[in-house]
Amino acid sequence: MLYDGAYLAAVQAYYTQCGHGQLALQPLHHLLEQAVQHAEKGYNSYRIIFAGWYAGSNDGDPSLLPPQHELLLAGITARWVLLDPAAPTDQRGVAVTLASDALELALSGRVDVVVLVATGAYLAELARTLTRQGVRVLLAHATPREQLATTLLDRRLRDACSYVVNVAQFEHAAERHWQALFQGLFRPPHEMQEQAE
């Protein structure tokens, strides 16, 4: 599982401002494991064997980044990439580091599915390369229903991936199981603070 840190930090900020609470990473992993299992019929289960959080030094408000302890609890390796303050917004340093780790995983033969939590077109070629190596790619994003028409999710990236899961759609899923998983993603801010202490 490979996170574009700037993207997910913005998602966390959105849901906090909407009153859902803070998006917790461990429940998100659980939901995505089940989403992969649902998409990949014939397999008993899937487990995340590696998760990385890729963020640059100029990703914006540092308060949007998850606390270090939460990354540790979720088993996520933080990959902070130092960037020039004048670096372009697509943050090529972050993309190169993320792509390097993804390809290393693919070539190791240890993974069946790589999950990209991102929206940028810069990952489309990575997704195609992983697919050529026999690795399925799940694109996970969280675009609220009212924003689907104006989403920044790039068509090239979507088309290059084997599966696409919009986590936000589980809020209104027909099955209660998925609704419950969505509701379980969020923790009130005070609860997250208590965990940190």
Model confidence pLDDT, tens digit, residues 140-149: 999 887 766 5
User: Which is more confidently placed, 149 or 122?
Assistant: 122
Cα–Cα distance for residue pair 23/12, rounded to 1 Å: 5
- pLDDT at residue number 61: 55
- Phi, psi for 169 (deg, rounded to 5): -70, -20
Asked which of 24-38, 68-82, 143-157 is least confident by mean pLDDT, the reply is 143-157
For the chain, percent of residues with pLDDT exceeding 90: 47
Q: Which sequence spans correspond to the domains of the chain? A: 2-192
CATH number listed for the domain at residues 2-192: 3.40.50.1010
Mean pLDDT is lowest, of 58-67, 119-128, 133-142, 149-158, for 58-67
Q: How many residues does the chain have?
A: 197
Phi, psi (deg, nearest 5) at residue 162: -75, -40
- Are the C-beta atoms of 33 and 49 separated by less than 8 Å? no
Q: What is the pLDDT of residues 35-76, one digit of tens each?
A: 999 988 877 788 999 999 998 765 555 555 667 788 888 999
Rg (CA), the chain: 16
Residue 83: the pLDDT is 60
- What is the b/e burial string over 85-117, where b = at least 16 CB atoms within 10 angstroms of the residue's CB? eebeeebebbbebbbebbbebbeeeebebbbbb
CA-based nearest residue to 49, from 170, 142, 135: 135
* pLDDT band for position 196 (cuts 50, 70, 90): very low
Question: Tokens for 35?
Answer: 């989403």
Residue-level pLDDT at 152: 59
